[in-house]
Amino acid sequence: MKLKSQPKKRDLPENTITLINVVFLMLIFFLVVGTVATPLSEHILPAQTKERPIVPPHPNIVEIARDGKIDYRKEPTSLDQLIVILSSELEGNSDTKPVIKLVAHKELDADRLIEILEAMTSGGVQNIRLVTVDNGADE
């Protein structure tokens, strides 16, 4: 009786296991290192800091472009509208301390930023924070 050698089962290509290992490592790397968040608009370059503690990104950010125009949730807004929107949002929010985050282009005129800030404060918006970017290693 001739025993034909067992028909070879079609195997996965040889290096599949290594491939999976590498892909798994990359996956874990991105899981650990990256944070998932909506990115800032590309035309906004936030001011840079050197030694401030790192904070996680925030979903709703008021963006102030270089020319002083305001975007909230990617939609252009005037200062008055913004205050109305923010105060109605704050009223609906039961959080003890809701925080409003601003991000301003680094070459924006500081007077404009302070003007917006003053308008927001007198409009009853509290806890405003300015988002900046860490630049620690440079220089």
- Binding site residues, another protein, CB under 8 A: 1, 6, 9, 11-12, 16, 19-20, 23-24, 26-27, 30-31, 33-37, 39-40, 46-58, 101-102, 104-111, 113-115, 117-118, 120-122, 127-134, 136
d(CA 54, CA 46): 14
* Angle of the 110-122 helix axis to the 79-92 helix axis, nearest 10: 40
In the complex with another protein, the residue whose CB is nearer, 57 or 76, is 57
Closest distance of CB 59 from another protein, Å: 12
Q: Which residues contact 107 (CB under 8 A, 6 or more apart)?
A: 45, 66
Closest distance of CB 99 from another protein, Å: 9
- Gap between the terminal Cα atoms of the chain: 80
Pairing of strands 100-104, 61-64: parallel
Closest distance of CB 60 from another protein, Å: 14
Q: Which residues contact 35 (CB under 8 A, 6 or more apart)?
A: 56, 57
In the complex with another protein, the residue whose CB is nearer, 43 or 129, is 129
Which amino acid would we find at residue 76?
P
In the complex with another protein, the residue whose CB is nearer, 91 or 139, is 139
In the complex with another protein, the residue whose CB is nearer, 10 or 91, is 10
